[in-house]
């Protein structure tokens, strides 16, 4: 039993870190652009599928993982440029409809390009198999994912807190208008934030593909989880999104031990509980 | 003349707020814009900065129209705006607040701002949200100066400040005027405004209803009671 619990906790942390990458991007986009990016899940899915195709060409997982997310960034920037940008001043409903439509179209595009049936990607050569951790035997690749996601999260945090551009992004979360008043082109800040969010979703999708597999619906599967994370985190809070991601992953995987059918329900319970007890979220101010 | 508004209308959505507002600000003068609550003072400043949904009429800065420009372009041309409640980023430190405003600093540098407001020097690592009202106002004005403006738009800078701090702000504005800056000052407190201003405009229900020299208003205080009295 202990063996099971320990490995499920680690599983939860690994999944949770992947959720955190998706959630941080969604939170940044929501915070800076004030847009609920319903296409965020499908960007995650494209991260996985583009990795699959790039991998077939270059033959090296790590190289593919380096390249694929930039395909997702291009896709994200295109969305921002042709759609989202025109809708900043429009009613919220239009943004919602646009992004939802885009998500559906992109999901169908995945089916057109890669087929309706799910597939999978093998972990990179050196990281197949498991390692003995004492309390439990654990897949090497998942441990590597934990390290990589931690590094990416730390890098994102350093960018936000230690650079001028990061400070502008944080300022934008607080007051977009005032950023423009200081002479900064807020449109560029929007594009950068959308690009960063897309990159994080793309990397997450690529890293997740050997663990979760690839299905055309994977974007719509992760989207509600990402929104739960944003709410639990507190709107616009990056540290909150990281913690909420891990919490969600662990809660999900621990529930799997006792009541597998409830694994997906438990995250909404978590959100409901948070709204009742602490409506502003873990780190939220408003 | 650096800034001229001629027959300016402004809208928030369908809400028509300004009706044919005309006013001007010259280099080295302070123009006070007075008016009751809801008269359209804040909207006038926001209209100049391109922060309303729609604006019509003529807004010229240095002979160039500001109408087609976006907010950050207007700032880069040489207008700075310190909004009501100051707009300091509460999650950023004082140093960060200054740094992101100084990315294209020219005439004014962060060092100049710290010289103007030495108090800010010791508060560099303090979050904007943890500053007192007076400290926030100094930071907001200092930050605005970093775009090296020739015209400064200030919305109720004395609001909620201790009298001593208000004096500091007044001294600063005098000093800036002395350096040739044009200042458009919105004030609730007519006394503070008259003490500072060269000229006065009074706005009511979105239209300018009085304009004249500050001295003439001081000589005929009934002007104020006519246009500013509540009711
Ligand atoms: N964002 C807004 N949307 C709609 N109406 C607004 C908005 N801001 C201000 N108004 C309206 O415009 C008028 C002028 O407001 P404002 O310029 O803030 O006045 P003042 O600064 O003189 O107190 C008021 O009637 C106010 O209700
Ligand atoms: Mg006002």
- Res. B117: pLDDT tops 60: yes
Task: Tell me what the mean pLDDT of segment A114-123 comes to.
Answer: 94
What is the residue with the minimal CA distance to atom 20 of ligand 1? B38
- Res. A137: pLDDT tops 90: no
Quote the pLDDT of residue A275.
83
Lowest-confidence segment of A101-115, B15-29, B137-151, B207-221 by average pLDDT = B207-221
- Res. B182: pLDDT tops 80: yes
Ligand 2: centre distance to CA A236 (Å): 28
Residue among A89, A164, A175 minimizing CB distance to B87: A175
Per cent of chain A over pLDDT 70 is 99
- Res. A91: pLDDT tops 80: no
Res. A285 pLDDT band, cuts 50 70 90:
low
Task: Tell me what the mean pLDDT of segment B164-177 comes to.
Answer: 93
Quote the pLDDT of residue B6.
96
Instruction: Assign 3-class secondary structure to chain A.
Output: CHHHHHHHHHHHHHHHHHHHHHHHHHHHHHHHHCCCCCCHHHHHHHHHHHHHHHHHHHCCHHHHHHHHHHHHHHHHHHHHHHCHHHHCCCCHHHHHHHHHHHHHHHHHHHHHHHCCCCECCCCCHHHCCEEECCCCEEEHHHHHHHHHHHHHHHHHHHHHHHCHHHHHHHHHHHCHHHHHHCCCCHHHHHHHHHHHHHHHHHHHHHHHHHHHCECCCHHHHHHHHHHHHHHHHCCCCHHHHHHHHHHHHHHHHHHHHHCHHHCCHHHHHHHHHHHHHCCCCCCCCC
The minimum-distance atom of ligand 1 relative to the CA of B40 is 17
Quote the pLDDT of residue A261.
82
- Res. B183: pLDDT tops 50: yes
Q: Do residue B99 and residue A164 have CB atoms under 8 angstroms apart? A: yes
- Res. B231: pLDDT tops 70: no
Q: Which residues of B touch A186 (CB under 8 A)?
A: 71-72
Mutate to test the pocket of ligand 1, among B37, B40, B52, B153 (most ligand atoms within 8 A of CB): B40
Each residue's pLDDT tens digit, A190-248? 999 999 999 999 999 999 999 999 999 999 999 999 999 999 998 788 899 999 999 99
Res. A286 pLDDT band, cuts 50 70 90:
low
Each residue's pLDDT tens digit, A6-16? 888 999 999 99
Q: Which residues of A touch B83 (CB under 8 A)?
A: 178, 181
Res. B184 pLDDT band, cuts 50 70 90:
very high
Each residue's pLDDT tens digit, B57-91? 999 999 899 998 999 999 999 999 999 999 999 99
Q: Do residue A177 and residue B92 have CB atoms under 8 angstroms apart? A: no
Res. A265 pLDDT band, cuts 50 70 90:
confident
- Res. B108: pLDDT tops 60: yes
Task: Give the fold, CATH level 3, of B3-78+149-228.
Answer: Rossmann fold (3.40.50)
Res. A89 pLDDT band, cuts 50 70 90:
confident
- Res. B37: pLDDT tops 50: yes
Residues facing residue B31 across a β-bridge: B184, B199
CB pairs under 8 A between A and B: 65
CA angle B42–B144–B85, rounded 5-degree value: 40
Quote the pLDDT of residue B230.
54
Quote the pLDDT of residue B224.
81
Domain boundaries, chain B: 3-78+149-228, 90-148
pTM above 0.90, yes or no: yes
- Res. B96: pLDDT tops 50: yes
Spatial separation of the C-alpha atoms in residues B70 and B54, rounded to whole Å = 12
**pLDDT, mean over chain B:** 93
Query: Mutate which of A89, A90, A157, A182 to disrupt the B interface (most B C-beta within 10 Å)?
Result: A182
- Res. A178: pLDDT tops 80: yes
Please list every protein residue whose CB sits less than 6 Å from any atom of ligand 1. B 12, 15, 17, 35, 37-43
CATH number of A2-277: 1.10.3470
Lowest-confidence segment of A59-68, A99-108, B207-216 by average pLDDT = B207-216
- Res. A23: pLDDT tops 90: yes
Ligand 2: centre distance to CA A161 (Å): 33
Lowest-confidence segment of A97-106, A128-137, B150-159 by average pLDDT = A128-137
Task: Tell me what the mean pLDDT of segment B9-30 comes to.
Answer: 96
Quote the pLDDT of residue B195.
86
Q: Which residues of A touch B99 (CB under 8 A)?
A: 164, 167
**pLDDT, mean over chain A:** 91
């Amino acid at each position: 039993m202990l063996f099971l619990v320990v490995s499920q906790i680690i599983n939860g942390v690994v999944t949770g870190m992947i959720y955190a990458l998706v959630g941080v991007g969604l939170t940044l986009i929501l915070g800076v652009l004030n847009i609920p990016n319903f296409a965020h899940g499908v960007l995650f899915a494209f991260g996985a599928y583009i990795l699959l195709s790039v991998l077939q060409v270059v033959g090296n997982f790590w190289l593919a993982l380096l390249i694929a997310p930039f395909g997702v960034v291009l896709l994200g920037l295109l969305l921002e440029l042709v759609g989202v940008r025109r809708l900043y001043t429009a009613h919220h409903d239009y943004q919602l409809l646009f992004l939802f439509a885009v998500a559906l179209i992109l999901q169908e595009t995945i089916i057109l390009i890669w087929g309706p049936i799910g597939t999978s990607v093998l972990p990179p050569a050196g990281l197949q198999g498991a390692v003995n951790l004492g309390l439990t035997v654990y897949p090497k690749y998942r441990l590597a994912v934990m390290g990589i996601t931690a590094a990416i999260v730390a890098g994102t945090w350093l960018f936000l807190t230690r650079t001028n551009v990061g400070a502008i992004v944080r300022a934008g979360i607080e007051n977009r208008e005032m950023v423009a008043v200081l002479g900064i082109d807020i449109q560029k800040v929007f594009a950068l934030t959308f690009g960063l969010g897309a990159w994080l979703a793309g990397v997450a999708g690529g890293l997740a593909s050997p663990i979760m597999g690839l299905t055309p619906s994977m974007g719509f599967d992760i989207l509600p989880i990402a929104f739960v994370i944003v709410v639990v985190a507190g709107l616009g809070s990056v540290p909150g999104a990281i913690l909420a991601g891990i919490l969600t992953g662990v809660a999900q995987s621990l529930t799997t031990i006792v009541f597998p059918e409830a694994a997906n329900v438990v995250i909404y319970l978590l959100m409901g509980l948070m709204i009742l007890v602490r409506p502003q979220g873990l780190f939220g101010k408003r | 003349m650096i800034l001229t508004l001629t027959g300016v209308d402004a809208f928030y959505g369908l809400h028509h707020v300004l009706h044919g507002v005309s006013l001007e600000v010259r280099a080295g003068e302070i123009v006070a814009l007075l008016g009751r609550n809801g008269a359209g003072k804040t909207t006038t400043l926001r209209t100049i900065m391109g922060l309303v949904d729609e604006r019509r009429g003529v807004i010229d800065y240095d002979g160039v129209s500001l109408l087609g420009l976006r907010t950050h372009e207007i700032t880069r041309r040489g207008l700075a705006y310190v909004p009501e409640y100051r707009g300091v980023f509460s999650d950023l430190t004082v140093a960060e607040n200054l740094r992101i405003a100084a990315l294209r600093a020219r005439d004014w540098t962060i060092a100049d701002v710290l010289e103007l407001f030495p108090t800010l020097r010791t508060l560099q690592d303090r979050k904007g949200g943890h500053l007192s009202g007076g400290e926030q106002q100094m930071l907001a004005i200092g930050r605005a100066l970093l775009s090296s403006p020739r015209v400064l738009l200030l919305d109720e800078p004395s609001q909620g400040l201790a009298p001593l701090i208000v004096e500091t702000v007044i001294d600063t504005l005098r000093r800036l005027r002395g350096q040739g800056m044009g200042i458009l000052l919105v004030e609730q407190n007519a006394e503070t405004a008259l003490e500072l201003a060269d000229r006065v405009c009074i706005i009511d229900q979105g239209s300018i209803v009085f304009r004249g020299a500050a001295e003439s208003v001081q000589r005929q205080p009934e002007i104020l009671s006519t246009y500013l009295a509540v009711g």
